[in-house]
Chain A
Amino acid sequence: MGGEGMKILVVGGGSREHAIAEAIARSSSTPRIFSVSENRNPGIRRIVEESGGEYALAPISDPGKVAELASRWGVEIAVIGPEEPGFHGVADSLRDEDVAVVGAVRKLAVMEMSKAEMRRMQWRNGVPGRLLFKTYHSFEEAMDDLRSQPDAPTWTQNVALKPARQAGGKGVKVIEDGQAYLHREKAEFKVKHAEWIDRYISGYGDLEERILVEEKVWGPEYTLQCFSDGYTISCGPLVQDNKNAFEHCMGPETGGMGSYAGPGPLLPFITREEYDRSVEIVKKMVDAVQRESGERYVGFVAGQMMLTELEGPTLIEMYSRLGDPEGVNLLALLETDFVDLLEAMIDGKLSSVELKFSEEATVVKALAPKGYPDDRRAAGGHPIMADEGAMTLDGCKLYWGSVHEEDGLYTTGSRAAEILAFGSNLPEASEIAERCTGAIRLLDGWGLYHRSDIGSKHMLERMDELADRARALYKYREERGTLGKRKDWIPGLGLVDPAQELERRLRG
C-alpha cells in the first residue's frame, strides 16, 4: 500500500480514465487514487487498490452524487475524464464542495456540448479555421434545405450532417452530393437521418437546436490536446484518431478505433507551422469561451482539426476533455509528473511547468465486440479475457474500457479495451500493437474486432498524399490572399460571399 500523498478522484471508467489513473499513479508524490464510474473497470480498480484509495459505482453525470462521494472521501483534486459529466455540471458541484477540479465547468463545456454554439462562438470572435454552417430546431425545418437540388449555387450540396449536441461521437454523416444522378437517394437519406437526429437529441432534453449542417471539407484529420489553467495553454504532441469502424476507413462512425502519434510532437504529414496555427486556434477558442462565460478554464481541452485546402488548419470540433483513444497516446508520452501538472493547472501556474514528452512513436488500437457501434446490445455481455503477461512481454500496455467486473469480466457494448505500443517509428509501433491484439479475446467465441491498418506504412502514405494535396492548395490561396475566402454566384443576386451572409445572420 502506498498513499501518503494527496487524495485524487478520477471520474469515469473507460480506457482514457484508466490512462489518467495510471498517469497519476506514476507520480513521485504517491497520491491515493479514488474512482467513480458506471462500470467496474479492472485496470482502474487495481490502480485504486494499490494506491490505497476507494472505488465506487455511481452515475457519473449526477453532480450531487459525485460531489457527495468526493466529500465523503475527502478528495483534494478531482479529474474528470469524459464529456457528459462536464455537460451536467459535475465540475461545478465539485467546486461548490471546495474540491479542486481539473475539468470544464458547465458553461465552458458548452463549447463541446453544443456544436452549434461552438461554431457561433468561433465566428463571433473571428477565430480562424471556420466552416459555414446552419442550424435547425427540427427536421421539418431542415427538410427543404436537405432536399435542395445538387445544383444549388452554394455550399449546401456537400455537407456534414450532425446532431447539434455532442452525442458520444454518434450521428455524424458526411454526404457529398457530387453525383446529381444519385441525388434522390442521398436527399432521402439525409432527411431520414435528420429525423433520427431530431428524435435522438430531444431525448437529452437540454438543447433547443437539434440539427447542424456544415460545409464539407476534405483533408487529413488530427487532434491537438492541451492543458489549460485559465491563463496559459500548453499543448502536447499531435495524435490522429480513426473514426470508421473497419479497415481502409470503411464503415460506421465509432468513438475511435485507434490512434497514433509521433515520433516527436508532429505527425509525419503535419508541419511545425501548421501545429502552431492549430495551437493558436484552440487558444483563441478557450479565450473566447472564458470571456463569454466569465469562467476560468481549468482542465483538458482539445481541437479536432483538419488540414483543408480552404484554410489549412481548420477546426472540426472542440473537446472539453482529452480524446479517447488520443488521450492514451498523450499520457503515455508525458514525462512531466502528472500530479505536478494537475496542481499547476489548478493554481494557474502552468507557465512555470516545463511540459516534457517522449519522442517515441505510439499506436493505440481499440478492440470492440462485434455489433459495436450500432448494435450495442449484441456487443455487450460477453466474457472477456486478456493475457496481460504476454502483452507486457511483447511491449504493449492494456487499457480496459467498456467492460464490467462482477463474477468475471464482461463487455458492456462499447470499445472493450485499448492496446498501446511504442516504437521508433509508427509502422513499428503498429506492428507491435497488432501482435498484442492476439492476447485478448472473448471467451464465448463472439467476435472481437480491431483495425490492423492503424499507423501502418500504407495509411501514412495515404495521409501524406492527402496532406500534400491540401497543403499545395491552401498555400497557393495564402499567396494570393484568398485563404478561407469563398464566393458564390447566385443567379439574380450576383456575387455573394457566403461567409458575410453567415456573419450577418449571426448578428441577427
Chain B
Amino acid sequence: MTGILGIGAFGSSRRNWSVARFLYYGLLALQHRGQEAVYIITADGDLHEAGGEGPVDYTLVKGVDDIPGYAGIGIVSPAEGISIHGDVALAGDGAPFLTGGWTSLTSKLSSLLNSSSPIDASVKILDEVPGAYSFIALTSDGTLMIARDPSGLRPLEVGSLGFDMGAVASESSALEVMGMKHVANVEPGEVVVMDGYSVEKAKVTRAGERSRLCSFEYVYMARHDSIMDWLPVYRVRVRIGEVLAEEAPAEADAVIGVPETAVPIAAGYSKASGIPLEIGFASTGRRTRTAIKGSGIDRLIGVQLKLNPVEAAVEDRDVVLVDDSVVRGTTLRNVVWALKRNGARRVHVRIGSPPLRAPCPYNSSIPEPDELIGSSLSEDQIAEVVGADSLRFLSLDGLIRSIGVPMDSLCLRCWGVRG
C-alpha cells in the first residue's frame, strides 16, 4: 500500500512558492495508504530530502518548514517506494515487473534522460517495463515526470491551484487538503511532464492490455471523500450498503458501521432497509488502518483504540454491524464481543465486499490465502468464529453493480476472479 504525490509551481514567479508544507499536508491526507515510512524530496536547482520510518506527523514535523523548493514529490509507504539516482528522484506506487524494482526503474529513467527528453524517457519506461504501477519523478530543476501505466491499476489524480501550481496524487482528497481544485485523472497509459513552463502529455498503449480499475480501492483503500477515475468513492460505498441490504436483509433495530470505511456503507444499508443508523463507536488517538498493521498485537491495539462501543447506541437492541472487508476476523471478533458486552442482543454482521481469497501481486498488504479467513470458511463458520448471530458477504455481482462499471473494466483478483 502506497500513496504518492507531486507538486510544482508554474512560471516566472514559481520561486516565490515553497512546497514542503503542501507535501506534508498532502501526505497527511494519504496516510491511510501507508504508515511505515514517509519521504519528501523537493527541488530548487538541487534536490532536498527528508523523511524516515514512521507516520507523517512524527517523522516530518520537525524541519519541514526549512526545506526549500518550488517543486517536490512525496510518498507514504513501505520504504522501498522512493529512490534517488543521480539527478532523478522517484516516488512509485504498485509493482513494476523489473529486476531490482523501483531502484532499477529509477536508474533506467535517469540514464534515458541523458539522451532523451523527459516525455520520451517516461514513455519509454511505460513501453518497456510491464507490471501495474504509477510513478512521479522529479529532477533538480523542478521537472515533474508523471506516469500511470496502461493497466490503470494504480490511481493518480490531477489538481490545480489558481494560476500557480499543478499537482498529482494517489487520491483527490490529498489535492483538496493541499487547497487545490481536483480537475482530472491521469489516464491509464498517460505520461504528463510539467516543467514550470509547459505541461506536455503522451499516451502509451500495451498490445492486448485494457485498463482496469482496482476494486479494492473503492471498497477499502481510498478515503470516502476521494473521487477516483471520475467515480466518487462515497457514492460507491453507499450503494454497496444499499445492495447489501437487498441481498442480505436482517431483522434489527439499529445499523452501525465500523469506522471509518464502513460508515458510508452502513448509511446505505440503513437507507435501503429503513433500519435507523446509529453511531456505535468512538475512537481514541490517531487514525489507524487495522487491516494493514504489522503484527497481531499491533492490529489488536489498533482495533481496541479505534472502536470503543457507545453503550447507549446498542443496549437492548438487535444490531446490524457493517464492516468493509474481512481479512483475518480479528477486528470483528473483538467488536462483536464488545457490542454484546455493552448490551447488544443480536449482532448480524454484514460485509461490504465478497470474501478476500487471493493476495494481490501489485499490493503487498493483502496476505496469502492461508491468512485470509474468507478463503477457507463458510459464512456460517465465520459467524461462529467471530461470535455473531449471522454473517453475510456482499456478492461479487453486488460489488460490480455498486461500482457501476462493466466487469471487464475492473480488477477483481483479490476476490478470486482471475483475468
Contact = CB atoms under 8 A, between A and B. Distances in A.
Contact of B16 (A176, A192, A247, A251): A192
Contacts, number: 89
Interface in A162-180: 172-176, 178-179
Contact of B25 (A181, A250, A378): A181
A201 to B, nearest CB: 15
B374 interface: no
A447 interface: yes
B22 A250 contact: no
B160 A176 contact: no
Contacts of B201: 247
Nearest to B119: A447
Contacts of A253: 163
A45 B18 CA distance: 47
Interface residues of B, number: 28
Given A182-B25, A252-B163, A373 B16 contact: no
A231 interface: no
B385 interface: no
B179 A173 contact: no
Given A250-B158, A250-B199, A251-B199, A182 B21 contact: yes
A245 B201 CA distance: 14
A244 B16 contact: no
A26 interface: no
Pick the most buried of B12, B25, B163: most chain A CB atoms within 10 A of its CB. B163
B162 A173 contact: yes
A370 interface: yes
A193 interface: yes
A375 interface: yes
A373 B11 contact: yes
B167 to A, nearest CB: 9
A150 to B, nearest CB: 11
Contacts of B16: 188-189, 192-193
Contacts of B199: 245-247, 250-251
B13 interface: yes
Contacts of A378: 197
B95 interface: no
Contacts of A246: 166, 198-199
Given A182-B179, A185-B22, A244 B197 contact: no
Contacts of B17: 185, 189
Contacts of A371: 197-198
Interface in A365-383: 370-371, 373-375, 378
Contact of B13 (A184, A193, A245): A193
A417 to B, nearest CB: 18
Given A244-B163, A370-B198, A179 B25 contact: yes
Nearest to A179: B179
A179 B11 CA distance: 23
Contacts of B25: 179, 181-182
A249 interface: yes
Interface string B33-69: 0000000000000000000000000000000010000
The 4 closest A-B pairs by CB, nearest first: A374-B11, A250-B160, A248-B183, A246-B199
8 contacts: A178-B179, A179-B178, A193-B16, A248-B160, A251-B199, A374-B11, A374-B12, A374-B197
Given A185-B17, A248-B184, 19 more contacts: A179-B177, A182-B179, A185-B18, A189-B17, A193-B16, A245-B199, A247-B199, A248-B160, A249-B160, A249-B181, A250-B183, A252-B10, A252-B163, A253-B163, A370-B198, A371-B197, A373-B11, A447-B198, A447-B200
